[in-house]
Amino acid sequence: MKRTRLLSVITAAALLFSISTSAASGMLYAMKDTRGYNGTDISITDADKQAPEITEATVSAAIEASRRVLPDTSEYTKFGYNSSYTVGEYGKQTLLSLYWTSEESGKRADVSVSTDGFISAFSVSYDRVRDKPVPIISQAEAVKAAYEFVSGANPDHAKYFDTEHARVAYSSSSGTYTVSFTANDGGTVISGATAQVRMSYLTGEIYSLTVSIPSNLVDTSDTAMSDGAVKSAFNEKLPMQLRYVVKYDSETKKSYVDLVYRPEVSGKLIGADGELYDIKYVYAGGGYKYAMGANVAADSTAAEAETADEAFVMTGAEMSGVEYQSGFLTPERVREVIMSSGKFALDESMGIVNSSLSKRSSAFTGKDSYIISVDFKSEKNSAYAELDAESGEILWFAAYDTAMRADEPIVYTAETLPYPVEEYRAASDELIKSLYPDTYAEYVYSDEHADSGWIRESGEYNEYDNAYYTYVRHSQGLPFERDRITVSVKLKDMSIVKVYYSYTDCEFPSVEGIITPEDAFDIYAENVGTVPRLYPAVKLEEGVIYIAESDISSAEKKLFIGYVYDSPYYQIDAHTGECEKRNSVQEYFKDTAFTDITDKRVLEAVSKLSDMNIIKRAELFEPARAITQGEFAAMLSPVSPIPEAYAVKGDDTAVFGEDYDPDLPLTRAMAAKALVYARGYDEVAKLTGIYVTRFDDDAKIDGSVKGYVAIAQGLGLLDIPSITDNFESDAELTRAEAALMVYNEASSVR
């Protein structure tokens, strides 16, 4: 960067600083929040509440730090910044958000840097790729470049990142890789500490960086446990949890409820001493100040809410295409049902402004039900309701204040609430008993699922706050998390401002004959395992580890060893003992070379498809093995998706024929048909008697597939070394041939 340009940027920064501080001086504000961990008060001194002065030297130092990620700003014409100061029980921090803009190109760059030089975020604007080409930059190259960028951004924290703990996500819609690094100390993962880089897979240009890692980390002095001690501790203090889950039967096309064991992952761990610990995150926001360095926004006045002058009556033609039937609730009847209890925040002033009728089919029984939805609105309030159109059962109600709130609302504590704390819960209990008399006994109140608005002994609330209560459906003493009732009670007048009811018409399996939690753990440990992780603790008490918010805490943090289940994405069938993967797991990137591929063209195709996350990276590819129909479907669908049911619900017969079997080998003719089908040329390819291929065995190609073969050949999709003179329709397609075909498709489509 030229010296004159550097001087102009610094001069512009100083000029903007001198203007913005005077403009923002009247905009400083503080918000007091006394909530702390476990409901305790945070005590912040008056001195701490005073935000440090942002001087020209402060801004210049931040600009200098930003050079680590944005070394050249010569293309930008304007500079500005925002500053924020946050203080909590475990530290304080001032953050500067710097930004550069170009009037000519419209580009913008942003860097978030603390006053001690830590860069937490960086981004530059970029144009999305429209033609979605195959990547030029490999994932291996992307990981290396991203690691160097992360290390250079914050050199003092570089030791916590490496290329062994990186994951890569490919996005064809934006033309980017997203490389995510998990921080670790000597190979042991540091919980919650990450860095993420987004970059172009065509040019390698880096578009953004986000870093979340605690400062002031202190190495642990704890020693790891033996495998036997780990197993004993888990079985005794953190056993596998038995629960109901919903599964899908591809044969019956219906859902059903099953029993599984799942690992406990909700804020608990086993310490290196073999004891059970609860994880509590310290609420660090005791105070907050914000000042704008440039572009101060003007005040705006919200427009008054529209008032419904008269009720809107829904006709049969306006019911979302669902035929109206006699006996269904009308919108006015919905109002009457809700108001009849006298407990909901709905009154005559709220007019009906919209309504609709929809049909829903049960995933378990296939039975249809009809839901009527109604929107209400007045000058000050609005509400939304969903009811069963036949039975009148309330499934969902929510009321909202749309009027401007008071600048100084009434403030309550648990002792000064308008009603005793227990009466809010009693009002919630009474409501669900009256609304759902046939099923309420199955729902059990759950503190675990209480929202952040539940009433604590220590805390402050205002007149607009609500108390929240959640009830989870139980059967045979076990929770069914899918079905819940949630109730919100307004603190000011105890009116019901929200109720949500979920009830599934399903059958629950018997708990008889299931395996034990110990057996489930053994199966899980053998297939998945448990691992130690490091937790940045600001305080340790008996049975509790306290972790402060990493972005503002300046306190010293000791890395605490805790053992957890390795992956929450697995479960054990309680009846069969089978280890099931319930969600996809993105594994760490491994720069494998597919050592069994000797053909350079095949290696290029497989490597590129691997960069697109289509082929899983592995040491061996087995290029000569016949590919199965299911494998080919999984390989092709990310490149050119066939119908929604394709390779998901077992409906691939539309592509491969009635003899489709995902476990059987794929023929060349079937591959050609799938490729052309994916292009949308199916109807044209079905025409007979008009196609001739360039293969020597053209006369032997069946007429029902010749159109597909001819079109695939014409598009260059069959341009592979092993298919030249003869096509050999019934020959089994090898994995190498399949990779080349799919790569040809990816290259031509993109």
Q: Of the ranges 363-372, 515-524, 553-562, which one carries the lowest mean pLDDT score?
A: 553-562
Question: Coil, strand or helix: which one is 429?
Answer: helix
Which residue would you say has higher pLDDT here, 508 or 298?
508
pLDDT at 639: 85
Give mean pLDDT, residues 644-655. 42
Q: Of the ranges 320-329, 553-562, 621-630, 707-716, which one carries the lowest mean pLDDT score?
A: 320-329
pLDDT at 593: 80
Whole-angstrom Cα distance, residue 483 to residue 251? 25
Which residue would you say has higher pLDDT here, 287 or 249?
249
pLDDT band at 549, cuts 50/70/90? low
Give mean pLDDT, residues 329-345. 90
pLDDT at 135: 93
From the CB of residue 580, how many other CB atoms can be counted at a distance below 10 Å? 15
Q: Which tokens in the block code for residue 532?
A: 């130690």
What backbone torsions phi and psi does residue 271 show, to the nearest 5 degrees? -75, 170
Instruction: Give the CA distances from residue 644 to residues 145, 402, 647, 651, in Å, rounded to whole numbers and listed in that order.
Output: 36, 41, 8, 9
How many residues are there in the chain? Answer: 750
pLDDT in tens, 456-496: 655 678 888 888 899 999 999 999 999 999 999 999 999 99
Which residue would you say has higher pLDDT here, 530 or 47?
530
pLDDT in tens, 667-677: 999 999 999 98
Whole-angstrom Cα distance, residue 630 to residue 664? 8
pLDDT surpasses 90 at 123: yes
pLDDT in tens, 558-615: 899 999 998 888 999 999 999 998 877 778 888 888 999 999 999 999 999 999 989 9
pTM of the model: 0.75
Most confident of 60-69, 75-84, 365-374: 60-69
Angular region, 468: left φ>0, alpha ψ -120 to 50, beta rest: beta
pLDDT surpasses 50 at 638: yes
Question: Judging by beta carbons within 10 Å of its beta carbon (0-12, 13-18, 19+), is residue 658 exposed, middle or buried?
Answer: exposed
Contacts 24+ apart (CB under 8 A), 236-242: 237/270, 237/275, 237/276, 238/264, 238/268, 238/269, 238/270, 238/276, 239/264, 239/517, 239/518, 239/521, 240/264, 240/517, 240/520, 240/521, 240/524, 240/572, 242/478, 242/511, 242/514, 242/517, 242/574
pLDDT band at 410, cuts 50/70/90? confident
pLDDT at 459: 67
Nearest-5° Cα angle at 411, 406 to 416? 145
Q: Which tokens in the block code for residue 254?
A: 């219906």
Whole-angstrom Cα distance, residue 615 to residue 617? 6
pLDDT surpasses 80 at 555: no
Q: Of the ranges 236-250, 347-361, 403-417, which one carries the lowest mean pLDDT score?
A: 403-417
pLDDT surpasses 60 at 43: no
pLDDT band at 452, cuts 50/70/90? very low
Considering the chain, what is the average pLDDT of its residues?
82
Residue 529: CA atoms inside 13 Å, Cβ hemisphere, count?
Answer: 3
Q: Which tokens in the block code for residue 728?
A: 């050999």
Q: Both ends of the chain: CA-CA distance in Å?
A: 37
pLDDT in tens, 9-38: 433 443 333 333 322 322 222 222 322 333
pLDDT surpasses 90 at 314: no
